[in-house]
Amino acid sequence: MDKKSIRSRIIGARDAMLLSEVHVLSLDICSKALSLPQVSNSGSIGIYLSFRNEVAAEMLLSYISESGRKAFAPLVLDGGLKFAKMASLKDATPSDKGPREPNSKAFADKGSIGTYIVPGVAFDINGNRVGWGSGHYDRFLSECSGAVKIGLAYDFQVVDRLEPEAHDVKMDFIVTEKRVIRI
């Protein structure tokens, strides 16, 4: 199945989820992510702010801030991603593209964030990812050597096999409500 078909099928299933289901599953997925040493021991974490029933990674914000760690969230600027410091959702507003973005312009250097929590439309068990199709995350993460990349997804978003392209960046972990896949 090609990326366009996968996007259509999985986004349709995700959009059909009830908000209560998104909340319950997101709590479970975020709890599993917090149990990973790559999250619990990282001094700085890049997280996304959910959009259209994505796993609500922003649930991790309070834990990160309360534990003395630094959280950074993405915004699209000059055609690419930059990660700006955030302490809570009060520090973000909706963008003209839909997802919320941080208000801060206190950007992190690419090498200063040890762990990235990454959204995706679909993942496979080999760590391959299909996003929205803009390539922002792949371009950004390709320049973050050494950083741990953790994809959050509902289990139905994990497929047997995706056909990666040369520029695609693999995840190190995929966390769902049912399992943690270490690549």
- Residue 109 in this model has a pLDDT that exceeds 80: yes
Tell me the average pLDDT of the chain: 91
Domain boundaries, the chain: 3-182
Residue type, 33: A
Query: What number is the average pLDDT over the span 51-58?
Result: 94
pLDDT value of residue 167 = 86
pLDDT value of residue 164 = 84
Residue type, 170: K
Q: What are the pLDDT digits (tens) for 120-176?
A: 999 999 999 998 767 789 999 999 888 999 999 999 999 999 988 888 899 999 999
Lowest mean pLDDT among 41-50, 105-114, 169-178: 105-114
| CA 19 and chain centroid, separation | 19
Q: 135: phi > 0 → left, psi -120 to 50 → alpha, else beta; which?
A: left
Closest by CA position to 52, among listed 117, 5, 7: 7
Distance CA 170, CA 3 (A): 16
What is the C-alpha R_g of the chain? 15
Spatial CB neighbours of 166, under 8 Å, sequence gap ≥ 6: none
**98 or 82: whose pLDDT is higher?**
82
Please give the CATH superfamily to which domain 3-182 belongs: NagB/RpiA/CoA transferase-like (3.40.50.10420)
Find out whether 136 and 76 touch, Cβ atoms under 8 Å: yes
